Each structure stands twice: as C-alpha cells, then as structure tokens.
Structure 1
Amino acid sequence: MEWIVAASVLTMLVLSLLRVHVIFAIIISAIIAGLMAGMNMQDTVDMLIEGMGEQANTALSYILLGVFAVMISYTGITTILVRGLIRVLTGKKTMLVLAIAGIACLSQNLIPVHIAFIPILIPPLLSIFDQMKLDRRAVATALTFGLKAPYVMIPVGFGLIFHETIQKGMSTNGIELSVKEIAGSLLIPGSGMIVGLLIAVFISYRKDREPAQLLHTTWNDQKEHEDKVIFTRQHAFTIIAIVIALVVQIITGSLVIGALAGITGMVLFFAVPLKEGDTFVQKGIGMMGTIAFVMLVASGFAEILKNTGAVDALVSASSSMLGENKAIIAFILLLVGLLITLGIGSSFGTIPIIAALYVPICAAAGFSPMAIATLIGTAAALGDAGSPASDSTLGPTSGLSADGKHHHIWDTCVPTFLHFNIPLFIFGWIASIIL
C-alpha cells in the first residue's frame, strides 16, 4: 500500500515529461492508484469525480478571474503598463526579470490576486522577450518565485492563510505556536528560494536564447490596442473596478465574490461594452479554463490517494525506518512531503495531511515546535513549484504559452523544480536541525 503514492506520482511525472497533457497524466495516475489499492475501474473513476468537487470553488474563481482579466486587457490599460516597462527596461534583461518577480510578489500579499495578473501582464511582453532573446525559463522561475516565496515567508494575504493553516494543523495535533513564530521558522527555507531565483536569473538562464517555434497557433497579439497609450476615463474606471474587486475579495475572503464584483464594476462603469459579454466569457474560459480543470482533476487524484489510505501507509512505512537520528528523520519526512505535494499540487491542501502525520512523529523524536513548523511548512511548499498540477506552475505557463512558444513541463515545471525545490529542501532540512 505504501508504494501507491510513489508509483502513481512517478507515473504522472514521467507521462508529463513525455509531453502527455497534464490532465491525461493525472487521470491515468489516479486510475493506477485506485487499481493498485484494489478498487475496480468504475469505483476509481467515481471517486475521482467525487473528489473534483473539493476544488470547485477554486476552479470557478479562476474562470471568473480569467473573464475579469480579459475585460481589463480589452480596455488597453495593459498596454500603458507594458510600454512603461519596455521604455524603462528594454535591453536590461536581468532587471526586467527581477521586476516581473517583484510584481508577482505583490500578488500574494499586498494585492492578493494570485495568478490573475499573469494573463494580463505577460502576453503583451512576449514579443519583447523574443526581441531581447530573453530565456522564458527565467521569467517562469521569476513568476513562480513571486507566487510562492511571499506566502512561505510573510504572514500577510495568502501568506496569512498559509501560516494559519499550519498553526491550526499543529494545534489540532497538540502543539501550540503563534503565527509570528511559524513565520520565523520558515525564513530560512524561504531564503533558499531567493538563492534559487538568483541562480536562475544570473547563471542558469542568463544567456541569450533564440525564440522557440510555435507549438500551436492561437496567439493574438492584440495589435488593435497598440494605439491606446493615452490614459482615459475608461482606464480610470478600470482601475476603480480592480480596486473594488480587491477590497471585496479581502473583506469576504472569496476570490469568486471579488471577481464578480470586479466584473460587475467594469460593466456598470461602462469600461467594457455589455454586448461583448459572450466574447469576454469565451476568452476568459480559454485563458484560465485549462488551469481550472487541472485543479479539479488534481483534487480528484488527491481524494483517491487519501481515501485509499495510501498516504497514511507511506508515512507509516517511512516512520518505521526513521530511527532516532534527527537529521535522517527530517530528510525522510521532507522527501515524503515532496512526493505527496507533487501529486496533490497544493501547498495549502497538503498541510492538514502532513501536520496530522508529522507532529506525533517529530514530537516523539524530540524536535522543537519551531522545527516541526519548519518541516510542515517546507514539506507543504515542496512540490508546489515543479508540480504539473500546481497553480504556481500552471499560472506562469498560461501567460508564457499564449503564443505557443513555451512548454508547460520542460519550460516551467522542470526549471522551477530544480531552482526552488532543491534549495527549499536543503534549507528546510538545515533549519529543522538547528531550530
């Protein structure tokens, strides 16, 4: 039973590396997990479908954010921002990548819109990337860094949710720790991500890279908006609608309600024509629909892994061979966390599972509460970068692949896995030993 998680997750990764679409890779891996657990095909598929409901709210929010993003792009305000970046940063590849990383960081804490900004900001920059011969893998790592590092280290916005989830998971299992202490315990692992970003930007992807050939032809460079460079009342109303969406989202804690508020504001302020509603919805679904559906299928996969007892069996088998050496215990627990999160594709969704298993093992081994928080937070973050089913990789790909020149697995998942999971693992392992 303990090999089910390893076998199914490795199957998903191998299929993805072989360029099988991530949706099919996850479905096949889920079926393999169910069959290995002794379930028949029908029961496995039924459980997969039932588990998809766990991410229905997330999927709907992504679709609505996609529609909102299309509306914002329609107004041409994106052109103003992009031209400003181009005017200041053209020819300065490193500065451009770091600026994108900085903008991405704001999406998790200061302006918590998560991945919704990517389809707005990145597609108009793609032709500039090609002219500068900028390696898009550097941009992918910059975007994933901004989507992950802030919530790992800073307890604000999505970061507050992440840290409170760790706190709740530990409290449920008998260990009390403040959010401030949890944030302090994750500074060292988060620093590993900073190191990974700098390696990617200044070493791995610093050289010029010739633009790739088209993978598919769906790109529309929106030249009809090239002349919209003057700030108008339409742009002012667009900004107001964005602010409304952010405020409502923060007050309600719901991405769905926030996106609906933004969409409603765009229509009521006449920033976009109501008669184009069908077009906005179609383009929004086209932009974010794949991500939404991948999240749904990944949720079903996670449901199968949990309900078959495969995750519990994996950790139980690991704990039986841990011994008393803290360094070995931490190493194995992080390795198990990496495997689990790669399959589930969600840092936030993984925490309750990991906390229930890690806390008793670590407490018995004599780890401090801060060290336990480090292990839980690091294990949850591991795999989010590099997982084919994670929004931290799907988001960057949604923007970078708009012109068909960027591959999800080889140009996003592999680079982010190498540059973030490896330093996260090493720094998190060291922190769990010294704290």
Structure 2
Amino acid sequence: MNAVVIAVIVMLILSLLRINVVFALIVGSFVGGLTGGLDVATTIETFTSGLGANATVALSYALLGAFAVAISKTGLPDAMVSSAIKLVGREGETKRKTLSKVLIVFMILIMAIFSQNVIPVHIAFIPVLIPPLLKVFNELQLDRRLIASVLTFGLITPYMFLPVGFGAIFHGIMQQNMEESGLTVSLADIPNAMAIPAIGMVVGLLVAVFFSYRKKRSYETRELAGKEITQPYTKKSLTVAIVSIIASLSVQLFLSQKLEVDGMIFGALAGLIVLYIGGTLKRKEADVVVTNGIKMMAFIGFVMITASGFASVLNKTGHVELLVEDSVTIINGSQAIGALLMLIVGLLVTMGIGSSFSTIPIITTIFVPLCLELGFSPMATIAIVGTAGALGDAGSPASDSTLGPTSGLSADGNHNHIWDTCVPTFIHYNIPLIIFGWIAALIL
C-alpha cells in the first residue's frame, strides 16, 4: 500500500486518539518510511535532516509568544475585557451580546482575510491579536471552534481566489507549474476558475457560523503565562501596547514587501523593543516574559519542526508521486471519477505535507497531462489543480492554517489543536471543497 496513505492515516488516527501531535508525526513518518522501502537508518536520517526546514517559523512563533505575553502585561487584555463588558451590558441584554459577538467575529474574519493581502503578515497576527481577546470570548461565551473556523477561512480562501498578496504567489505557482506540464493558462483565468471552489469555502463558513457553533459555550477563565506580573493598566501602558503592535506589524510588512524576506522574527523583536523603551517591560522581567512566551508557543513550534521531518520522509520514499500516478489506472477514462480521485489525492498529500503551496508542484506534473487526456477544459483543469492543492490545508495538524488559530486560542490551555481546530475545519471546509471543486471540474 502507498506509504503516503499509510503515514497520513497513522498520524491522523493517533492524533484523534489524543496522542500528542508531535509523537503522531514522528510515528507516522517512521511507519511511512519503512512502508515506502526505506531502511530504519535512512528513515531516521531523513527525518532528522528535514527538521530544520521550519526552524525559522518555530523561532518566529516563540518570539511572537513572548511579545503576546509582554502585551498582556501592559493591561491591554484587561482593558479589552472592560470595554467588552460595557458593550455587552447587563446579563439580560441579549441583543447587545449578540451584536458584540457579530462585531468580534466580523473583525477577526476581516483581519484574517487582510493578513493574506492588504497587510500580508500571514499567521503572525494571531498570537498577538487573539490571546488578549480570550477573556472577551469567555465573557460572551463564544465557541472557540467558531473562531478557529473563521480564522482558517480567512487564511485559505483569499489565496485560493484573490490574485493579490499570498494569492498572487499561489496563482503564480499554479501557472508556472501548469505551463511546465504542458498547459499554458492566463493568470486572469485562475480567479474565475477558482470562484466555484471558493463558494464552497463560503458555504462551510456559513454552516459553522449559523449552525454548528452558534450556541454558547463556557470556558474556564485562566490567566496567560506570565500574567501574574501584570500591573494595572494606564493610558500610557495602553498607548505603548498599541504602538508596539503597530511597530511589529509595520516591520513585518516592510521586510516581507520591500526586502522579500520573512519578517516575523524581527517584527516581534521590534514590538518587544517598543515595550521596553516605553517602560512597560522592565529589564529584570524580560527573561521571565520571554521564557513564558516561548513556553506558550512551544507546542506550535515543535509541531512545525516535526512536520518538516515528516514531509521529508514522505518525499524521500517517492510515494507521493507514485500515489498520483497510481490514481491514473483507477480512472479508466471517466471525467467524474478522475476529478474526484485527483481531489482526494490532493487532500492526502496536503494533509501529510501541511502546505498547499508545496503540494501544487508535486501534483501538477501528473494532473495536467491527465486532465488533457480526459478532455477537461483549461478552466476545469485550473479548478482541479487549485482545489486539489488547497484541500487538506484546513484540517491538517501540520498546516499553518490550523496551527495559527491554535496558537492564539490555546494560549490559556482551553483549546485542543486536534478536536477544536483540525476536526472542525476539516469538516466545514474540506467536504465543501471536494463537492464544489468536483462540480467546477465538470461544468467549466
């Protein structure tokens, strides 16, 4: 049996059984390596040598965690809670509570969408924005699975559909790899072809908002790590906190847009410097704040590092390409079966690798010739390749689009990565994506 399928299934089963995701990834990669024909030594060596690929992102999250804890020390979370209580009003004022929920969810949705294009900081805003809001969520009894679904929607749909920011990168990768595989398409055609799959994402979001997670859910109110050293907030401390957030985002934006380098590490550093200069972060407290921030984000960082080793082993086996090629023999000339199988293969590959952007080059080399052979139009081919690439980004334990939301929502220990982020986003987005991607393939 294919090593990718085995490895992904083992990883997902262990994760669903509440085995730590890091251990699940390690065991899954080991099983996948042996299934794929690698010996024990090669599997271990490939896994360990691949760990460094996400080291930069892991360090970025550690520093962003330190920045988030330092922000909490300024009293900004307490100020936001006080404002939320005033906005919510008395216990019986249901309409005001409902309005507050709508405003907060809408704000988070807009910020998540903007993080992919208008302010392209990707997931870097989540550890800074979400932890201070956790007490507000508790006050409003918001289901955090809803917030996870909203964040994941905002992290995925824009790059699928909009040709700006990270979407421009995703569309560029699609166009280049499709051309190298024998089909020249226009960048202008990609948003049109991806419109129907994007509608599937919207449907999933609407189901999550208005049906699945609309009921109240209570959480235990806990302090963030390091919050015990917080002083009462003042106008000065709140001003410094806001300036530090602006400085952090500005540095990230400048480095990513002007210099085209990852700016998360230095963005977090800039925010910490502003807090230090502003006097809200004392030198004697800096070690405690940084250590607590790293503790808060340690889980996310180790999952990202381990996921790199997992992906490295799967690539080494050669079974990723073999999985794509094997699907050709099952299709037997049927467009309907062909489109469905290609989407499922994309789901499996991305669930394992954790990156839609990395999946596109792998699947395009086989999918494009296969689509041409089956008689799919260029627009249908774009929809198949784009949807197959995006499938699995939601729901994958190793994806930025799930690790990002968890990094913020689990800051107080009240949110489980697998059951509260991965499972809800898998159900609400991957299922509609398969359905709407399949429809797009058959009607375009």
TM-score, scaled to structure 2: 0.88
How far residue 73 of structure 1 moved from its aligned partner, in angstroms, is: 4.5
Which amino acid letter does the alignment assign opposite residue 393 of structure 2?
Answer: D
Cα 1:140/1:430, change in 2 over 3 Å: same
Cα 1:220/1:59, change in 2 over 3 Å: closer
How far residue 38 of structure 1 moved from its aligned partner, in angstroms, is: 2.6
Q: 1:227 aligns to what? A: 233
Structure 1 stretch displaced more, 403-412 or 117-126: 117-126
Q: Distance in 2 between matches of 1:75 and 1:176?
A: 54
Give a deviation string over 1:234-267, Cα, whole Å, max 9, x none: 3464224532332222112222x45315524752
Provide the aligned length of Structure 1 versus Structure 2: 431
Structure 1 stretch displaced more, 360-369 or 328-337: 360-369
How far residue 228 of structure 1 moved from its aligned partner, in angstroms, is: 3.5
How far residue 55 of structure 1 moved from its aligned partner, in angstroms, is: 2.8
Q: Distance in 1 between matches of 2:305 and 2:366?
A: 25
Paired residues for 1:73-222 under 5 Å: 73-76=72-75, 88=87, 91-92=97-98, 93-211=101-219, 219=225
Q: Distance in 2 between matches of 1:377 and 1:242?
A: 29
Cα 1:279/1:351, change in 2 over 3 Å: farther
For structure 1, the 5+ residue unaligned runs are: none
Q: Percent identity?
A: 48
Paired residues for 1:326-337 under 5 Å: 326-337=335-346
Cα 1:85/1:356, change in 2 over 3 Å: farther
Q: 2:254 aligns to what? A: 247
Cα 1:33/1:228, change in 2 over 3 Å: same
How far residue 280 of structure 1 moved from its aligned partner, in angstroms, is: 4.5
- Asked whether the equivalents of residues 175 and 186 of structure 2 are also in contact (C-alpha less than 8 Å), the reply is yes
Question: After the TM superposition, which parts of structure 1 deviate over 6 Å for at least 4 consecutive aligned residues?
Answer: none
Q: Distance in 1 between matches of 2:267 and 2:309?
A: 29
Structure 1 stretch displaced more, 219-228 or 364-373: 219-228
SS in 1 for 2:277: coil
Which amino acid letter does the alignment assign opposite residue 183 of structure 1?
Answer: P
How far residue 108 of structure 1 moved from its aligned partner, in angstroms, is: 1.4
- Asked whether the equivalents of residues 251 and 266 of structure 2 are also in contact (C-alpha less than 8 Å), the reply is no
Cα 1:190/1:95, change in 2 over 3 Å: same
SS in 2 for 1:210: coil
How far residue 204 of structure 1 moved from its aligned partner, in angstroms, is: 0.8
Which amino acid letter does the alignment assign opposite residue 353 of structure 1?
Answer: I
Which amino acid letter does the alignment assign opposite residue 129 of structure 2?
Answer: L
Cα 1:262/1:407, change in 2 over 3 Å: closer
Q: Distance in 2 between matches of 1:3 and 1:422?
A: 23
Q: Distance in 2 between matches of 1:129 and 1:420?
A: 23
- Asked whether the equivalents of residues 8 and 32 of structure 1 are also in contact (C-alpha less than 8 Å), the reply is yes
- Asked whether the equivalents of residues 350 and 380 of structure 1 are also in contact (C-alpha less than 8 Å), the reply is yes
Q: Over the residues paired in the alignment, what is the CA RMSD in angstroms?
A: 2.6
Structure 1 stretch displaced more, 120-129 or 82-91: 82-91
SS in 1 for 2:230: helix
How far residue 177 of structure 1 moved from its aligned partner, in angstroms, is: 2.1
Q: 2:43 aligns to what? A: 44
Give a deviation string over 1:252-291, Cα, whole Å, max 9, x none: 2222x45315524752782455565434432342233322
Structure 1 stretch displaced more, 185-194 or 166-175: 166-175
For structure 2, the 5+ residue unaligned runs are: 89-95
Q: Distance in 1 between matches of 2:224 and 2:79?
A: 24
Q: Distance in 1 between matches of 2:431 and 2:388?
A: 12
Q: 2:377 aligns to what? A: 368
Cα 1:125/1:234, change in 2 over 3 Å: closer
Q: 1:263 aligns to what? A: 269
Cα 1:373/1:75, change in 2 over 3 Å: farther
Q: 2:392 aligns to what? A: 383
Which amino acid letter does the alignment assign opposite residue 127 of structure 2?
Answer: P
Which amino acid letter does the alignment assign opposite residue 53 of structure 1?
Answer: G
